[in-house]
Amino acid sequence: MQIDIEFQNQPSRTSYTSEVEFDEDTSIDDQEQTVEQAEQVDVATNRLTKPKHRVSKTIGINEILPNPSEPITFENDPSPIIGYAAEPILPLPLACAPLFDILYNLVFYVQLALDETPENPPNGLTVHESAAIRLYTLEWETPHKSLYSMLNYTLKSSNREELRPYFKYMKLFLTALVKIPCEPITTVWRGVKKDLSAELQPGTPLTWWSFSSCTKSLTVLENNMYLGTVGERTLFSVEAINGRIISDHSHFATEDEVLLLPGTHMVVVSHLVPSPNLYIIHLKQVIPEETLLEPPFKGALLYPKPERSWYKKKRYVLPLSLFIILSITAIVIGAVLGSRKTNEIPKIICKDPYSSQSVSQTGKTPVALAFGDFRNEDIIDLAVLNYDEQSFDL
Q: Please indicate, yes or no, if residue 317 is contained in any of the structural domains.
A: no
393 in the same domain as 259? no
Q: pLDDT tens-digit profile of 115-143?
A: 999 999 999 999 999 999 999 999 999 99
* Residue 245 lies inside a defined structural domain of this protein: yes
Confidence of residue 103 (pLDDT cuts 50, 70, 90): very high
Q: Is residue 394 part of a domain?
A: yes
Do the domain assignments include residue 339?
no
Residue 344: per-residue pLDDT: 59
Tens digits of per-residue pLDDT, 323-356? 888 888 888 887 777 766 555 566 677 666 666 6
Both 72 and 144 in one domain: the answer is: yes
| Residue 247 and residue 381 in one domain | no
Determine the pLDDT at residue 121: 96
Answer yes or no: is 209 within a domain.
yes
Instruction: Report percent pLDDT > 70 for the chain.
Output: 66
Q: What is the pLDDT of residue 256?
A: 78
Is pLDDT at 296 greater than 90 in this prediction? yes
- Listed residues 310, 334, 362: the one ending a domain: 310
The confidence score (pLDDT) of residue 76 equals 54
Residue 373's contacts (CB-CB under 8 Å, 6 or more residues apart) are 379, 380, 381
> What are the pLDDT digits (tens) for 33-47?
443 444 443 333 333
262 and 384 co-located in one domain: no
Look at residue 151 and tell me whether its pLDDT is greater than 80.
Answer: yes
What CATH number should be reported for the domain holding residue 279?
A: 3.90.176.10
For residue 380, name the pLDDT band (cuts at 50, 70, 90): confident
When pLDDT is cut at 50, 70 and 90, the band that residue 95 belongs to is very high
**What mean pLDDT, rounded, does the chain reach?**
77
pLDDT > 90 fraction of the chain, expressed in percent and rounded: 47
Average confidence (pLDDT) over 14-32: 41
Domain boundary among 310, 330, 359: 310
Looking at the fold, whether 270 and 369 belong to one and the same domain comes out as: no
State whether 235 and 357 are in the same domain.
no
The mean pLDDT of 183-199, rounded to a whole number, is: 90
Identify the band that residue 180 occupies on the pLDDT scale cut at 50, 70 and 90. Answer: very high
Say which residue, 72 or 376, is predicted with more confidence.
Answer: 376
Q: Tell me the mean pLDDT in the region 78-96.
A: 96
pLDDT band at 321; cut points 50, 70, 90 = confident
- Per-residue pLDDT of 203-262, as tens digits, reads 999 999 999 999 887 776 666 556 667 788 899 999 999 999 999 999 887 677 899 999
**185 confidence band (pLDDT: 50, 70, 90):** very high
Residues 83-94, mean pLDDT to the nearest whole number? 98
pLDDT at 330: 82
Could you tell me if 17 and 106 lie in one domain?
yes
pLDDT in tens, 51-74: 444 443 333 333 333 344 444 443
Q: Averaged over 180-186, what is the pLDDT?
A: 93
283 and 214 within one domain: yes
- Domain hosting 383: range is 350-394
Whole-prediction pTM: 0.64
Residues 252 and 367 in one domain: no
pLDDT band for 286, please (50, 70, 90 cuts): very high
Last residue of a domain, one of 310, 337, 367: 310
Regarding whether 298 and 365 lie in a shared domain, the answer is no
Q: What pLDDT band is residue 78 in, cutting at 50, 70 and 90?
A: confident
Same domain? For 294 and 369 the reply is no
Residues 265 and 381 placed together within one structural domain of the fold: no
Count of domains observed in the chain = 2
Q: What is the mean pLDDT of residues 371-381?
A: 73
